Every structure is written in structure tokens, then in C-alpha cells.
Amino acid sequence: MNYFFIGLYILLALTAVYYIVFFALLYYWHEKKATFVVVPIIFTFYFFAIGFLIVSIISLAIEYLPSFLNNL
């Protein structure tokens, strides 16, 4: 379970960095005020969702792979 929380903290930090960079780029190149906040939130959620799935799969593999290999 510790692997999951470590991975989740890393994912949250990477999501924050991704959001800051993406928001800075949109602020630099924005043309309409409507896309100023909505677009970065959508892309950040997509990045976080895929990252969360990857962290979950890796955490489950690290947690249960040794017992699975022992049973084989």
C-alpha cells in the first residue's frame, strides 16, 4: 500500500507541474477568455486519469506479483 501512496504523491506533483506549464502556455497564447481556465482543467484531468491508472497498475503489480510468482 505504501507504493500506491508514493506513486500517488508523485502523480499529484507531476500533475501540478503539468498544470502550471500548460496554464502558462495558454496564458501566453490565449485568444479568448472562455478557454482560459476550462481547457487546462480538461487536459489536466485527462493527464491525471491516465497517470492514476498507470500508478494503480504498477502498485498492484508490485504488491501482488511476488505472491503470484510463488504460487506458480
Q: What's the length of the chain?
A: 72
Predicted structure pTM score: 0.56
pLDDT(46) > 70: yes
Q: What is the pLDDT of residue 34?
A: 54
SS3 6: helix
Alpha-carbon span 55 to 5, nearest angstrom: 9
Alpha-carbon span 59 to 7, nearest angstrom: 8
Q: What is the pLDDT of residue 31?
A: 61
Q: What is the pLDDT of residue 35?
A: 53
pLDDT(36) > 60: no
What's the number of CA atoms in the CB half-sphere (13 Å) around residue 29?
7
Domain extents in the chain: 1-69
Alpha-carbon span 35 to 46, nearest angstrom: 16
DSSP 8-class letter at 31:
-
